[in-house]
Chain A
Amino acid sequence: MRYAMAIDTRKCVGCSDCVVACQIENKVPEGFCRDWVVEATSGTYPKLELEIRSERCNQCGNAPCVRCCPTGSSFYADGGIVLVDPDKCIGCGACIASCPYDARYVHPEGFVDKCTFCIQRVRKGQRPACVEVCPTNCMYFGDLDDPNSEVSIKLKERKHKTLIPEAGTDPHLYFLI
């Protein structure tokens, strides 16, 4: 089992519903977020292009944060989801410095937090909160090992990319382009 997410940049309108839904579902403390929206404009008026991306932890297969965690609090859970054990984490921030995607933050209660692919929902057979709420229905989630999962199908059908592939992190957040 290998969980992954694919997001269709052609449909995403950058509304940030994924951000607020995540904050509420996961009780992310005020002033922090586990996912965020990037708007990348290129060209000059009127020859312009805009790519909107909902970004979060890439649930890397080769995660620098797991490698560098001195206490072993960052670990791979089921389906390759990278988690932090808040009870073990000492909040030293080594992982924050090592993450090329800037996906982690220090929770006011002293541990490091980030996107969990909503593992508590996924284990119950639900989709992550951001995927479930997205009004443009542009996010797909599932098991890459299952060729019939939404995410496998979309990645077969469409051209896609990952972020900072040169970092060699083996990211599992795909953007359909």
Chain B
Amino acid sequence: MRNSRRNFIKISSLGIGGAAVAGTAVHWASGKIINEAIPKSFQFKQTPTYCEVCFWKCAGWVTTDENGEIWKVEGHKADPHCNGRLCPRGTGGVGMYYDEDRLKTPLIRRIKNGKQVYEPASWEEAFTYIANKLNLIKEKYGPESVALFTHGSGGKFLGHFLKAYGSNNITAPSFAQCRGPREVAFLSTFGELVLSPERTDIRDTKCLVLIGSHLGENMHNGQVQEMSQAIDNGAAIITVDPRFSTAASKSKHWLPIKPATDLALLLAWIHVIISEGWYDEEYVEKYCFGFEELKAHVQQYSPEWAYGITTIEPQTIRETAKEMANAAPAVIIHPGRHVTWYGDDTQRLRAVAILNAILGSWGRRGGFYNPEKIALPEFPHPPFPKPRKTWKDAFPEQYNMAYEVLSTGVCEASIPSAERDSAIKGWIVNGTNLVHTLPYQQQTLEAIQNLELLVVIDTMPMEITGYADVVLPECTYLERYDAIRNSPHREPYLALRMPATQPKYNSKPDWWIAKKLAEKMGLGAYFGWKNIEEMLDWQLKKVGSSLKEMQKLGVKKLKREFDDLYFIRGQEIEFNTNTGKIELFSTELQAEGFDPLPKYTLHPEPEEEFYRLNYGRAPMHTFSRTSNNPNLHALMPENYLWVNPKVARLWKLKNGQEVWLKNQAGKVSYFPIKIRITERIRWDSVYMVHGFGHKEQRLSRANGKGASDTQLITNVMMDPIMGGTGMRGNFVTFLTEKPEKEEETL
């Protein structure tokens, strides 16, 4: 049977090598610091890094004590991502290094006495195993049959390896499961992406509109800091959210919208701004295409119409529209980040883009600025082989506007089926726990069963490692060099990550893994540098710095090449769209057969006794990545289910009571979750923080704490435009008694 080919192996009894070190090492009598118990001779060493706990990549300094042990990480004052202040996850990043549950040595799946087990292996053995398999796949199916899933800095080197091997199937769940719709929507409107960090000029805005975006709980450091500055400057914040989020509590206007109706509100705002003549006439005339079509199209979407759908009073819709217009062009209707909700997400984000366009905020101070980053040349290498096919060949005519590889597409293309070319046979997975990240858990597991090779590279025994043929222990960001951080900002900045200490256990950096594997496979020429220091120094010298300088500075600000942070009034601008204008009416969407102007679509509502499952973030966690981090686990060990008091009364639920959840398809949560009764949530929905409910027992802290939203997201609404996976159309009900355990594959 196929299903038994890859049993889930719990990485237990494998904790060999390196005695477990307690969460935080005690270097001097803890708590006694007040007595100046620190010896005067203490030499604190500081090394630069940039944070890897989330993708914001704040630059910082790591302080090590006289034993070379890591003490703390603090923000780099010159870095615009953090301005000297890391977020709680970044501060608690040391816990990643000290976590005694870390992967410690390479593991290879073998059959022993008829049972599948992991055997500890040397790096040499692991590379030999992987190289043989990869060569076999190349021979049988072609190199294009291997894909890389990655979320993290090390992915750069592994991606380089994969391209050298002959495949371009490099994907990050952050596109199809997260920010893809906003990027496609803004690209088709302005001809440019929102990018990361977002080009939102929150610092100087007069009005910030957040739609389901919960900045503050969502701890994207620079943005949260700028929101705080905006509060100091008296900016008006408008928050649209069925939940009274932290951001809502800081807002001048909170619009407690009925879930799944945001597009109706956006269209009504556009209607009001156009019909009242509050739009930026000069800007629209000069830069925009399709205004007349838009005007005619939104005629039907009055505030009175929207009231019946959104439950937001017409008066409030007008008032908030006026608030935005008064602030314009220093207004931001924020594009959000995780926006894959209902399957019409690209269209909803198109409405966001249009609203920004008619208020003239794109390219204006307090709206959206034009970021710049520098071109960092690549270390010379032979040209990559040209792949003959990609994952996309499995989906002819579909998702033409997905300009990045769809994780879920690769996953689907790994399952043999009559109607499509099942192209993918091998996965390399780095720093993303696909079992918790991708919706359709069953599909992910089925795809995994059909693979001929699954290599997982991670620091922690996340669930995905249990399905691998080979597990490779990556060292944490505090123990390694990585590619130079080169991200777009108001000014270009470079940041260096270097090891503050030696890798613990038998773990290794990704650059080393990629280079060694390449050498093993005769692809060493693609990694022509002796060691990473040589490569980084070469790169840095090309842009007027050096490794030595960066080791001292940590962060370096470079000059903008173009003086175009904002548009200059009256300036002629050619936008990168078909018409060369900002496309209110999208010719690209029209050509692809989609609505060129966003239309409201109705979404299903919960049946009786069911509640919409909403999920989000907590400031101290990054997805499931941090749930076992000793420092961060201590701040929030489990998630709670937010329930309105009316609902709690109806179900006789008590605070702290454990319930199991059952979704519309009968799927029952594996673990119970505790109830938090709060007025801060609407009566038609419930809410939980994402990233909990781990089954993996080797995550000794996180195991069994809280529930997993991903497990209950079985209804996924696909965005036909770009393949985004809408995940907010799932409904749950409460089971107050422990359910019978169903047969579990996961």
Contacts and interface: CB of A to CB of B under 8 A. Distances in A.
The list of the 8 closest CB pairs from A to B, nearest first, reads: A13-B216, A15-B619, A50-B249, A136-B228, A27-B30, A17-B88, A46-B256, A20-B92
Interface in B46-88: 71-72, 74-75, 82, 84-88
Contacts, number: 157
B225 A113 contact: no
Contacts of B85: 17, 132-135, 137
A6 B286 CA distance: 49
B575 to A, nearest CB: 35
Given A20-B92, A48-B679, A138 B31 contact: no
Interface in B1-60: 22-24, 26-36, 38
Given A30-B634, A45-B680, A120-B33, A15 B225 contact: no
B200 interface: no
A31 interface: yes
Given A11-B231, A16-B635, A30 B679 contact: no
A137 B225 contact: yes
Contacts of A45: 244, 256, 644, 679-683
Contacts of A135: 82, 85-87, 219, 221, 224-225, 228
A50 B31 contact: no
B207 to A, nearest CB: 17
B678 interface: yes
Contacts of A23: 631, 634
A83 interface: yes
B249 A48 contact: yes
Contact of B254 (A25, A26, A46): A46
A114 B110 CA distance: 52
A10 interface: yes
21 contacts: A10-B250, A11-B250, A15-B619, A16-B88, A17-B85, A20-B635, A24-B24, A24-B71, A24-B94, A24-B631, A26-B31, A29-B30, A44-B679, A45-B680, A45-B683, A50-B680, A86-B31, A107-B31, A116-B34, A120-B38, A135-B82
B119 interface: no
Interface string A66-94: 00000000000000000101110000000
A135 B215 CA distance: 12
A31 B637 CA distance: 11
A119 B32 CA distance: 11
A124 to B, nearest CB: 10
Contact of B72 (A16, A24, A28, A30): A24
B166 interface: no
Nearest to A116: B34
B630 interface: yes
By secondary structure, the B interface counts as: loop
A90 B36 CA distance: 20
B307 to A, nearest CB: 15
Interface string B611-631: 000000001100000000011
A30 B31 CA distance: 12
B217 interface: yes
Interface of A: 10-11, 13-17, 19-21, 23-31, 41, 43-46, 48-50, 52, 83, 85-87, 107, 109, 111, 113, 116, 119-120, 132-138
Interface in B634-664: 634-636, 644-645
A26 B33 contact: yes
Contact of A15 (B30, B82, B87, B256): B87
Interface string B238-276: 000000101001100010100000000000000000000
B71 to A, nearest CB: 7
Nearest to A137: B228
Nearest to A29: B30
Contacts of A87: 32, 35
B632 interface: yes
Nearest to A81: B34
Contacts of B419: none
B390 interface: no
Interface in B174-226: 216-217, 219, 221, 224-225
A86 B225 contact: no
B244 A50 contact: yes
B432 interface: no
B249 A49 contact: yes
Contacts of A26: 30-31, 33
A2 B243 CA distance: 42
B249 A43 contact: no
Nearest to A14: B246
A44 B679 CA distance: 6
A109 B679 CA distance: 41
B31 A29 contact: yes
B744 interface: no
Nearest to B84: A132
A43 B228 CA distance: 24
B34 A83 contact: yes
A46 B244 contact: yes
A85 B682 CA distance: 50
A41 B680 contact: yes
A35 B678 CA distance: 24
B561 interface: no
